[in-house]
Chain A
Amino acid sequence: MKMTGAEIIVRLLEQKGIEKVAGIPGAANLHLYHALKESKIKHVLARHEQGAGFMAQGMARTTGRAGVCFTTSGPGATNLLTAIADAKLDSVPIVAITGQVASAAIGTDAFQEIDTYGLTVPITKHNFLVRKPEELLTIIPEAFHIAESGRPGPVVIDIPKDVQQQSCTFEAWPVFKEPGKGRPVTTNEVREIALRINEADRPVILAGGGVNTEESAALIIKLAETNNIPVTYTMRGIGCISPNHRLSLGMIGMHGTRYANALIEEADLLIALGARFDDRATGVSSNFCQNSEIIHIDIDASEINKIKKADYSLNASAEDVLREIIPFIQVNKREQWIDRFSELKSEMPYVSAPEEGEDIFHPLNIIKSVAHHVPEDSIISTDVGQHQMWVAQVWPFKNPRTFISSSGLGTMGFGVPAAIGAALANPRKKVVCFSGDGSILMNIQELVTMSENNLNITVLVFNNQSLGLVRQHQELFFSKNYMATQFEAKPDFPAIARAFGISGMDLTTSANPLDDLMNALEHPGPVLVNVPINTSEKVLPMVRPGAPNKDMIY
């Protein structure tokens, strides 16, 4: 066979089963776009490369398979960096194919030349600079394999334009290997851990992003129910157990439930599954679970003992370990421990909203009303701020991969393009994006992409006329010195939406706001709804930064 590098890339993406890619063309990837013309892969034109990166993430986070995006060299690649870094911190598999100046021009400060390879070293799982078209035959399958294997992550393939243009001859197409799932676990290993669990008096499970899949979630519930173990989760673990399950402690950490943060400190055994002890989850890590033994199961060996020393650890897929361990787990009622859990739960009620009907615009009430109204398998994306935490606190997430939110990097601007990616990958599902009047402006241009593709997305802008979460920190910890967090100009978001070609609605002026909101949710195409929120609303409870988790402000 004889083909150009660009044709090889496109054929390989097709063979990998990629149906949609997001991107923006430019001088250094024109050959790639030229080859795409002949393909059945649908290209979704983003309006900013960061948007393209988050669209790829939206596809990946909701399916578990690598999302793909294209950018040109120089500014195209630099614009993409935030989305890559975000994917790294949340272990999201994406493959970013960036154009590069011609090989001969590399190192000459050519037009739109930047060192994409060098810039992406610290924020990728791995990256490649392709030197010859024939290398694409190994690098592209390898890139997907790396992105999707073990602990997933972003991979960048930087491809000079001459490599896209040149032809090469080759004998056969490569095969795409199945993603690696970690080493097999032995019965002896799991037996020891099962013994610890069976012997513990007060165990708690901490579930992280590493178990946020259908299979792992079902296994966690089985483990928890058999042995009566309360389960808490990090933000990346949301969806692995319903918050309404009798053993669910809800989310842990800075804005988690008070009873999760309290009960975990009384545990004699912490079972951490695919969780990395992030400081938003643990508070001051040296104070976290000081008196309990820790079992840590993670597919990434470098996470074990990184933050918390584990008494027992297994470097393997948590799903495999769970499957193997369950037969050794004894049935146990643990009445005392479960009573203690119930006691704390009633002593320390979680967040409460005013009675519905009293204050419909209370953010928690709005979220609950939306949750009642949309199908259970809807996908919820958020931006970053108070609105994100409120959704994490009260949305009744029952299924893995339905809550997509920038957790590790906390990137404002994530919500809208990630919702687009989610809608592209799940055309039959309802997608709701909760954003803030600060965050939405960080990728507002992607409303055009939403409009162009007529996606079934409702964007709810929680408009508190401020950078709310930062304002909250100023109120609580910086003597109410609201520097740079109160907006003076108040953009008309529904009008902006309409200008971009999607419907816009403002609940501020509506006579029947709840009815209008429900109508907006039922509207099949893209809609933006402005939801007025009282500026003084706070996300509570809260762990003061630098304080131990159990001392929550509420």
Chain B
Amino acid sequence: METKNQLIIELHVNNHPGVMSHITGLFSRRGYNMEGILCGTIGEGETSIIYLLVAEDEKLEQIVLQLKKLYDVLDVKVRKNYDHAVFYNIEKLLAKGGV
């Protein structure tokens, strides 16, 4: 699977219902593309980790800086090594159960 020019932005965020809209809102408002998104709570559920699959282009620096400004974003890391399979075979998630 082609993965070049893509990378993962790893976000550590506070976990409450509005956080996702701040992050996705930032992407749509600033015209950035998000190719994939994966999210889950960690620890006691106070915080979550979000993985965003994005293009590696000249907008990346701005995206990261804008994400860092969000109040509920505790940490931002850019990851170049990742297993892309999860984003490309997303339909397999439900394959076994059927419904």
Contacts and interface: CB of A to CB of B under 8 A. Distances in A.
Contacts of A300: 69
User: Is chain B's binding surface mostly helix, strand, loop or mixed?
Assistant: helix
A510 interface: no
B21 A302 contact: no
Given A126-B71, A129-B18, A146-B71, A302 B25 contact: no
A302 B65 contact: yes
Sort chain B's interface into a size bin: 10 to 19
A306 interface: yes
Contact of A121 (B21, B62, B68): B21
A299 to B, nearest CB: 11
B31 to A, nearest CB: 12
Given A121-B21, A122-B25, A302 B69 contact: yes
A304 B65 CA distance: 9
B65 A117 contact: no
Given A117-B18, A122-B25, A301 B68 contact: yes
A427 interface: no
Nearest to B61: A305
Contacts of A302: 62, 65-66, 68-69
Contacts of B21: 117-118, 121
Contacts of B18: 117, 121, 127, 129
Interface string A274-306: 000000000000000000000000001110011
A129 B21 CA distance: 13
Given A301-B65, A305-B61, A121 B71 contact: no
B29 interface: yes
Interface string B29-66: 10000000000000000000000000000000110011
Interface in A102-132: 117-118, 121-122, 125-127, 129
B22 interface: yes
A118 B69 CA distance: 18
Contacts of A305: 61-62
B22 A121 contact: yes
Interface string B1-44: 00000000000000001100110011001000000000000000
A539 B26 CA distance: 36
| Most chain A CB neighbours (cut-off 10 Å) among B26, B62, B69, B70 | B69
A315 to B, nearest CB: 9
Contacts of A118: 21
A121 B21 CA distance: 8
Nearest to A315: B65
Nearest to A302: B65
A68 B69 CA distance: 23
Contacts of A127: 18
A122 B28 CA distance: 9
Contacts of A117: 18, 21
Contacts of A126: 70-71
A121 B22 CA distance: 6
Contacts of A306: 62
B29 A122 contact: yes
Contacts of B61: 305
A121 B65 contact: no
Contacts of B25: 121-122
Contacts of B69: 300-302
Interface string A125-145: 111010000000000000000
A121 B27 CA distance: 12
Contacts of B66: 302
Contacts of B17: 129
A125 B61 CA distance: 20
A118 B18 CA distance: 8
A122 to B, nearest CB: 5
A122 B22 CA distance: 8
Contacts of A146: 71
Contacts of B65: 301-302
B69 to A, nearest CB: 6
B97 to A, nearest CB: 28
A122 B71 CA distance: 13
A302 to B, nearest CB: 4
Nearest to A306: B62
A285 to B, nearest CB: 14
A305 B64 CA distance: 12
Contacts of B70: 126
Nearest to B72: A126
A118 B19 CA distance: 11
Nearest to A151: B69
Interface string A390-432: 0000000000000000000000000000000000000000000
A300 B22 CA distance: 18
Nearest to B28: A122
A551 B65 CA distance: 34
Interface string B60-99: 0110011011110000000000000000000000000000
Please list the 9 inter-chain residue pairs (A to B) with the smallest Cβ-Cβ separation, ordered nearest first: A302-B65, A126-B71, A121-B25, A122-B29, A302-B66, A301-B65, A122-B25, A121-B21, A121-B22
Interface of A: 117-118, 121-122, 125-127, 129, 146, 300-302, 305-306
22 contacts: A117-B18, A117-B21, A118-B21, A121-B21, A121-B22, A121-B25, A122-B25, A122-B26, A126-B70, A126-B71, A127-B18, A129-B17, A129-B18, A146-B71, A300-B69, A301-B68, A302-B62, A302-B65, A302-B66, A302-B68, A305-B61, A305-B62
Given A117-B18, A302-B65, A302-B69, 16 more contacts: A118-B21, A121-B18, A121-B21, A121-B22, A121-B25, A122-B25, A122-B29, A126-B70, A126-B71, A127-B18, A129-B17, A146-B71, A300-B69, A302-B62, A305-B62, A306-B62
